[in-house]
Amino acid sequence: MIKLQRIAAGAIGQVFAGASLTMVLQAVWQANPELSSQHRGAIQDISYGVLRFYGQLDKLLLSLLKKPLSDESLRYLLLVGLYQLQYSKAPSHAVVDHAVSAAGFLRGGKGAQGLVNAVLRNFIRRRDVLLTQVLDSEVGRYSHPQWWIDKLRSQYPQNYQAVLAADNQHPPMTLRVNQRRIDVVKYRQLLVEQNMPVELLWNGALKLIQPVSVDKLPGFADGLVTIQDAGAQLAASFLNLQDGMRVLDACAAPGGKSTHILEQAKVALTVLDNDPARLVRVEQNLDRLKNKGVNIICGDAAIPEVWWNGQLFDRILADVPCSASGVVRRHPDIKWLRRASDMAKFAASQQAILNALWQVLGKDGKLLYVTCSVFSEENQWQIDNFLSRHLDARQLPLSQEGMFDGQLLPDSQHDGFFYALLHKT
């Protein structure tokens, strides 16, 4: 456990230095090939858990210290220990003993070890009182930055607490059945036969009661099924696709929505993304699902004159870059890496992409604007701004259970998404 605690503390430190947790952990796996799958899982659980509950853990640590720590590495190790004591099933004495040993590798030596021992044992003794005190702070209570809490409360006064609570839960594992290959009922039966109970959601989405590794899913390697959030599965159906259409999936990586489009209708699909490395993921997904003949382009959606061949599209899916505030339970580092000032930057990029893609949409065509955000600045406010400047655009109504004016808020069944369908009149 000592090495796991040290690696997790180091990963958390890199995140607070500005790195993505996903990229940090990929680097950790490459640097430590000897780690077993069980050890990787433990490091991932600790890293995600500390970031998921960082607001609470940070307030607890401040209550346990007489003065702020100057050694950030020691601070991150203490956060790891507090997370394990509060949320893991590891015996308390083992967590403390191993954390003390891990502190021996820090520059503080025995002094750091003594502090770790005192802080963690003090938490064990005073746990209930300290956890109650943390509730006095909204950051401690909800484990989100204060600006994020204030924004949600302003925009969703009736729902903000439920959204904050959903953000701190483990995300559901949801499957999309390739209905060109097998129907949902038959695939569901395959899961039941493998002792994998599921819940049927909208559009045939299947939510696993207990997540499993992808290699255990029947027919995954053969393209029978794809892992995709139920909220994300709405995109292809909202496009109202028909055989023979020319379709553009802009900002397409990693390709989940692209493959779903091809399962909905026989269309001429162009996949666009500005990241060559992420386009490799798109190609892998297309290959696994045995999709051929897709036009894959590396290019910036906001600059069509560089990549567009002049042929107008009948349908465009614009899954634009955003704050990702609707998927923070899958990426808890986002809560602490984002700043309130980022909203204006994302909004400018989103408007540029919308304006550019509108030029390549044919008359009577439809563009589906999508974000995985819950903030209005990136969602309906963007659409209202666009409509005010494009008289040939009108927003079409979208209907889906749990959706209000195109907005899905995260809950136990899906992540947070926004959808707006624009018709070129």
Pairwise CA distance, residues 149 & 402, whole Å? 22
Handedness of CA 220, 222, 225, 226 (dihedral sign): positive
Question: Residue 242: beta bridge partners?
Answer: none
Pairwise CA distance, residues 329 & 367, whole Å? 28
Selecting among 251, 298, 322, 372, the annotated active-site residue is 372
- Helix, strand, coil in percent for the chain, rounding step 5: 50, 15, 35
Half-sphere exposure (CA, 13 Å, Cβ side) for 216? Answer: 11
Pairwise CA distance, residues 400 & 419, whole Å? 11
H/E stretch holding 357 reads: helix 342-359
Half-sphere exposure (CA, 13 Å, Cβ side) for 130? Answer: 21
Pairwise CA distance, residues 145 & 337, whole Å? 10
Neighbours of 124 (CB within 10 A): 12
Q: Which of 67, 113, 80 is nearest to 1 (CA)?
A: 80
Residue 322 annotated as catalytic: no
Catalytic residues: 372
